[in-house]
Structure 1
Amino acid sequence: AFYYHHMLGMMKREFPNLPSYSRFIELVPRSIMPLCSYLQSIMGDCTGISYIDSTKIAVCHNKRIYRHKVFEGLATRGKSSMGWFYGFKLHAIINHKGELVSVKVTAGNTDDRAPVKDMATSLFGKLFGDRGYISKALNAWLTKHSDTRLIT
C-alpha cells in the first residue's frame, strides 16, 4: 500500500523512473548485501554511554498468521509491550549521539536479554535499558567481559 499510494502515486514526479511494484519486489533481494554494507559503514563507536532497546517487525496481521508463507519457518509469534505479533525483533544499541553501535534481528519470540552478550562485546561504560533487560546474571556477565554496567 505504501509503495502504490505514496511512491508510485504522490512521489512520481520526484522519482520518475521507479519500477513497478512487482519489479520492486524482484529487486529487493539484490539490495540486501549493499544495504548491509552501508549499515556497517555508518556504525558509530561506543562513547561510554549506550542505550539498548528492541522493537517488533511484524510480517503480517495476527489473523493471517496461518496463511502467511513468505517467512514460514523463520518468523515466530512474539509478545511486546504493544501486544502479540508475528514476525521478528530488531535489537539495537545506540550511543549518546544517536549513532548505531550494534544491531541484531532475531525471531519474534526471543527474550530481549538473549542477544545482549553478542551485541555488547565492544561496549564499555554504562548501558541503559528498559525493564525487559533486568537480570543480575546479565549485569554480572557484562561487567566481567566488557567492562559495561547495565542500568535498567
Structure 2
Amino acid sequence: MTKLGTFYGFRGHLLISAQGVVMGLAVTPAHIDECDVVPELAIGLQGLLLGDKGYIRPSLSATLATQGLTLVTPQRTNMATYDPLF
C-alpha cells in the first residue's frame, strides 16, 4: 500500500474444507475486497463457513445464508455486542 492508499499486486483467496481439501481458489487484484470474492468461491457449498474478523459484514452473512451457508467469525472487541466466542 502506498501513502495514497493504492494497493498493488494480487491476493490469493483459498477455501479449505475441515479435512484440508482445497474447495475453492481465486487470485484477484489487491484492491478487490476479500468479502466480495467469498460468495463466488462458496457456490455449491452448504453448512458452516469459518472466517477471520475481516469477514464481518452483515451483507456478506445474508448473501451466504441465501446459499445455505452460515458464516462464523470471531467478534471484534470494539463491537457493541461483543461476546468472545473464540
Please give the TM-score of this superposition, normalised by the length of structure 2.
Answer: 0.74
Displacement over 6 Å in runs of 4+: none
Aligned to 2:68: 147
Q: Which is higher, the Rg of structure 1 or of structure 2? A: 1
Aligned to 1:35: none
Q: How far 1:123 moved relative to its partner?
A: 1.1
CA distance in 2, matches of 1:123, 1:132: 21
Q: Which runs of 5+ in 1 are unaligned?
A: 1-61, 63-76, 79-85
Aligned to 1:105: 27
Aligned to 2:9: 87
What amino acid does structure 1 have at the position aligned with 2:68?
A: D
Query: How many residue pairs align between the two structures?
Result: 69
Please give the TM-score of this superposition, normalised by the length of structure 1.
Answer: 0.43
Q: Give 1:128's match in structure 2, choosing from 46, 50, 68.
A: 50
Query: Could you report, residue by residue, the CA deviation over 1:13-43 in whole angstroms, capped at 9, with x for unpaired residues?
Result: xxxxxxxxxxxxxxxxxxxxxxxxxxxxxxx
Give RMSD over aligned pairs.
Answer: 1.3
Matches within 5 A, 1:73-84: 77-78=6-7
- The percent of aligned pairs where both chains have the same amino acid is 35
CA distance in 1, matches of 2:41, 2:13: 9
